[in-house]
Amino acid sequence: MTTSTIRVRYAPSPTGDFHVGGARTALFNYLFARHHEGKFILRIEDTDQKRYNPDALGWLLNGLRYLGLNWDEGPEVGGEYGPYVQTERLDIYQKYCHQLLDAGQAYYCFCTSERLEKVHQEQEKKKLLPGYDRYCRDLDLNEAAERVAKGESFTVRAKLPIEGDITFYDTIRGEITFSYTMLQDAVLMKSDGIPTYHLANVIDDHLMEISHILRGDEWINSIPLHLFLYQAFGWQPPIMAHLPLILNPTGKGKMSKREDRAPDGRLLPVFVRSFEKKGYLPEAMVNYLALLGWSYDDHTEIMTMAELIERFSLERVKSAPAAWNYEKLDYFSGDTIRRLPIEDLTDRLLPFLAEAGIQAKREKMLLITPLIRERIKTLSEAAAWIDFFFMAELPSYDTALLIPKKTTAAVTLTILERAQQILTTVEFTHDTLENALSAEANKLGLKTGQMFQPIRVAVCGRTVAPPLFETLVVLGRELSLKRIGQAIAKIRNTH
Ligand code: GLU
How confident is the model over 166-223, as pLDDT tens digits? 999 999 999 999 999 889 999 999 999 999 999 999 999 999 999 999 999 999 999 9
Please tell me whether residues 379 and 239 are part of one structural domain.
no
pLDDT digits (tens, 9 = 90+) for 44-58: 999 999 999 999 999
Cα(215) to centroid(ligand 1), Å: 7
The answer to whether residue 201 sits within a structural domain is: yes
Mean pLDDT in residue range 5-33:
97
Cα(320) to centroid(ligand 1), Å: 20
pLDDT-above-90 percentage for the chain: 96
The answer to whether residue 59 sits within a structural domain is: no
Please tell me whether residues 359 and 446 are part of one structural domain.
no
Mean pLDDT in residue range 467-494:
97
**Number of structural domains in the chain:** 3
Residue 13 CA: nearest ligand 1 atom is 4
Residue 11 CA: nearest ligand 1 atom is 5
What pLDDT band is residue 1 in, cutting at 50, 70 and 90?
Answer: very low
Question: Which residue's alpha carbon is nearest to atom 3 within ligand 1?
Answer: 12
Cα(12) to centroid(ligand 1), Å: 5
Give the whole-angstrom CA distance, residue 428 versus residue 117.
Answer: 82
Please tell me whether residues 432 and 474 are part of one structural domain.
yes
Contacts (Cβ under 8 Å, ≥6 apart) of 25: 10, 214, 215, 216, 243
Decide if pLDDT at 97 tops 70.
Answer: yes
Cα(217) to centroid(ligand 1), Å: 10
The answer to whether residue 481 sits within a structural domain is: yes
Which of 118, 103, 10 minimizes the C-alpha distance to 64? Answer: 10
The answer to whether residue 70 sits within a structural domain is: no
Please tell me whether residues 367 and 223 are part of one structural domain.
no
Mean pLDDT in residue range 138-164:
96
Please tell me whether residues 189 and 104 are part of one structural domain.
yes
Q: What is the pLDDT of residue 3?
A: 46
Mean pLDDT in residue range 437-444:
97
Please tell me whether residues 376 and 489 are part of one structural domain.
no
Please tell me whether residues 404 and 483 are part of one structural domain.
yes
Q: What is the pLDDT of residue 4?
A: 54
Average pLDDT, the chain: 96
Least confident of 257-266, 323-332, 350-359: 257-266
| CA distances (Å), origin 329, targets 172, 233, 325 | 25, 45, 7
The answer to whether residue 273 sits within a structural domain is: no
Q: What is the pLDDT of residue 263?
A: 87
Q: What is the pLDDT of residue 425?
A: 96
Last residue of a domain, one of 222, 243, 264: 243
Please tell me whether residues 225 and 364 are part of one structural domain.
no
> Which amino acid, residue 313?
S
Question: Which residue's alpha carbon is nearest to atom 6 within ligand 1?
Answer: 11
Please tell me whether residues 166 and 186 are part of one structural domain.
yes
Q: What range defines the domain where residue 467 resides? A: 399-494
Give the whole-angstrom CA distance, residue 156 versus residue 147.
Answer: 13
Q: What is the pLDDT of residue 408?
A: 96
Q: What is the pLDDT of residue 2?
A: 47
Residue 201 CA: nearest ligand 1 atom is 9
Please tell me whether residues 146 and 106 are part of one structural domain.
yes
Q: CB under 6 Å to ligand 1: residues?
A: 11-13, 45, 197, 201, 215, 219
Give the whole-angstrom CA distance, residue 423 versus residue 446.
Answer: 18
Q: Which of 29, 197, 242 to mutate to test the pocket of ligand 1 (most atoms within 8 A of CB)?
A: 197
Rg (CA), the chain: 32
The answer to whether residue 44 sits within a structural domain is: no
pLDDT digits (tens, 9 = 90+) for 254-294: 999 999 898 899 889 999 999 999 999 999 999 999 999 99
Please tell me whether residues 97 and 212 are part of one structural domain.
yes
254 belongs to the catalytic site: no
Residue 25 CA: nearest ligand 1 atom is 8
As beta bridge partners, residue 254 has 247
Last residue of a domain, one of 243, 275, 304: 243
Judging by beta carbons within 10 Å of its beta carbon (0-12, 13-18, 19+), is residue 29 exposed, middle or buried?
buried
- Report whether 457 contacts 471 (CB < 8 A): no
**N-terminal to C-terminal alpha carbon distance within the chain:** 83
pLDDT digits (tens, 9 = 90+) for 388-425: 999 999 999 999 999 999 999 999 999 999 999 999 99
Question: Which residue's alpha carbon is nearest to atom 2 within ligand 1?
Answer: 12
Cα(101) to centroid(ligand 1), Å: 25
Provide the pairing of β-strand 39-42 with 7-10.
parallel
Please tell me whether residues 379 and 407 are part of one structural domain.
no
The answer to whether residue 445 sits within a structural domain is: yes
The answer to whether residue 102 sits within a structural domain is: yes
Decide if pLDDT at 109 tops 60.
Answer: yes
Mean pLDDT in residue range 359-387:
97
**Residue among 95, 118, 254, 257 flagged as catalytic:** 257
Residue 15 CA: nearest ligand 1 atom is 4
- Report whether 15 contacts 48 (CB < 8 A): yes
Cα(394) to centroid(ligand 1), Å: 53
